[in-house]
A and B are shown apart, each in its own frame.
Chain A
Amino acid sequence: MLHLNVNILNAGVFGGSWRFPGTDGTASYTIEHYTSIAKKAEEAKLDAVFLADGPALDPGIKHRTGNNFEPTTVLARIAARTERIGLIGTLSSSYNDPVELARRLGDLDHVSGGRFGWNVVTTAGPVAARNFGRDGEIDHAVRYQRAAWFTQQVVAAWASRTRFASPQGRPVVVQAGGSSDGRRLASRVAEVVFSADQDLEHARAFRAEIRAGAVQFGRDPAEIVVLPGLSTVVGSTETEAKRRRELLDELLPDAYGRGRLAAQLGISLDGLRDDEPIPAGLLVEPDEAGGSQTFYRVVKEIIDRENPTLGTLLKRLSGGGGHRIVTGTPEQIADDIETWYRAGAADGFNVMPDVLPSGFDDFADHVVPELRRRGLFRTDYDGTTLRAHLGLGLPALEGAA
């Protein structure tokens, strides 16, 4: 069975989402934005809501709304207002204390009746680092060494917890970060992998690699759910969907798109005109990049393959960073989802609507029923926990065998 989460990325994945006609531009600064989308996701029987996060103010804030609520407080509130939907929150392994995090996340799992999943990330960038006493980003390899140690501490603390038991045993471990270090961590600890991929064959190989790696760690590959991010632009006709996409491209604040791309590639784009190609000579191999090697690779592959002008590339990414974008009718989007799913490129998707809430309303009202008609998606929840929705058992403790 296909798995679907909705990624409530503030106003939507597109950089111009907050400016979309009929959208309240600052709604994502109110808690109701998150609780009402979560309720809608529960009505649509999705597996979970997903919250990305980082402990810093996004330098692009001037031109694009940013994440601005801390995930455990948001998810504790959503838990109070919903009954079944899973609750996945991103919490940094780089800038948290493992004792504190294990307790807080374990308690959130208990409070929510066993619906919580922890997305382990290694926080990139100098801006977050400076909020924790550092002058710059921690080295990529060091971040991942710490992540492995950190996750082990947290999972062991959950396993030894008796006071506030959770119906799902312990929170589901989710992982995002697809560099070689990230893939190794995923094979070792992840029960759900949030990935980024533009290409079906690549995604298939990625999933196969994670599963094979899991076997090496003595795990059952069937106990890993791989969910690529999928940005959606839904229209009732193909023309309408394309128009929506074009409008979003127009609404993308140029300074935001350039700033984000420059940060992602770690190069300056100052002075480069929109009609000039990206100077490929400035790019290093992804394994040598800092920040996020995954998103670096995704963008570099587009540049290598298509040699786009800066303007074309900015439109192609539309401020979304590199997740795949599908634009079309509900049937066309369902076709795409079905193709990836049947090809073994994905166990489902972390759906990233273009604009929130409207893009998600369209997805829930039109794409989900189409997936149901094809027998790909549940008509109701079977269980009450996130583990049950994902079809996951309770894994043995790492190193305990």
Chain B
Amino acid sequence: MRIALILLLLLAVAAIPGSLFPQRNQNPLQVKQYFIDNPATAIWLDRLSLFEVYSSPWFSAIYLLLFISLIGCVLPRSIEHLKAIGAQPTITPKYLDRMEHFVEIKKIDLDQAAAYLIKNRYRIRRDENSISAEKGYARESGNLLFHLSLVLVLIAIGVGSLFGSKGDAIVNVGDRFINTPTSYDILGFGKYQAEDSLPPFSLKVEDFKAEYDPVTNAPIDYTLTVRTANPANSPETTEVIKVNQPLAYGSTKIYLQANGYSPIVIVRDKSGKVIFDGPTPFLPQDGNLSSIGAIKIPDMNPQIGFVSSFLPTADRDPIRGGFSSYPEVLDPRLLVSVWKGDLGLNTGVPQSVYRIDTSKMERIGLKALTVNETYDFGEGSITFTGWKSWVNLQIVNDPGKGFALLGAILAISGLLISLFTRQRRVWIKQGRKTQVAGLAKNGIPGLEQEINNLVKELSNER
């Protein structure tokens, strides 16, 4: 018991870093950003699994130990309890006057007393001159149900992580997501899930609406409308996904997780030929969605990269320079610094899509673009034609979820039963007078009242 409490406390303490550092499974974008802002610290934090606190070895160790101690404690108690359920109450002790509650009254009829106690849901042991009665076994049953349900929850979580999958994908409004491994930015499979087991749905992002409070700039509501088909290329239906209202295909759920903007640009080479035309997702930096990103044009000669920021509602101050003062697009700007040279993409080494390694490049221009403005940087031109919203979909298959819910419901029921059940013992002993004594387990109040009722009832009977 003490070990379990210590471990429980440790678990609470160990969960703290999970709310201090961004977590990869909840907000991969913020984790990425942390790496960009503090690369040296981030590497160490990552080594200590502080971006995946809840699946880290040290966190797992604490709760596994907790459950081992729980099982070790609960199993023997369950066996004891099962035996006790079939057994009779204990023999009436010799000296009742030592009990927490004791009265001596005129002689009463033991048969009547027994009948009264049974009516009051006591289990009784009737000896020649005494009755030993006990009630409130449900307290222990509830307690054990609570602990056993926790074990069920743990098993359900285990099943989910072994047979489930979890992935993230950024999709622009207007684009279609095909549920196949290559469509994901990050995808993790449980140990026993095959990679071709993803349900073959398609999901076209039709519309995304974000509502903000005009006073505080805080988000009020997000609404994502999709056209979806399972399997892909079958007739589509229109569905709405909200923050706490995922779309479900069997045990696979599709959550709306984050959103941002993808500025759309057209890049032309010297001859005016279009080399790039489309949206590029940018990473939001703050609540007003000031976003940064990289637009890379590897198939121009020389290669061109635009280190960029997108400001949905552009504002300036002398200290911060350009920033966004509202998360909706009211007065957009695309700030680009133009680099030419080698983007490093042809080496085959994967690189971040949000950053440009400018070490082998030279800066040839700088411009703040308004919508439909074109900037000629000598090697070609860039036109800022508009923007799209993007959403980060988190697609989770958790086959253990139903059992986890069941376990949680049972655990709470067990807890309530054990909290509201009054476990007490009552003894009645016949001598020259009748002695009545009681004992409330765990000092639950109300015993005195109960004994008084009993005495009154039985004395009045006479």
Are A and B a genuine interacting pair, yes or no? Answer: no
Residues of chain B having any CB pair with chain A under 8 Å = none
Residues of chain A having any CB pair with chain B under 8 Å = none
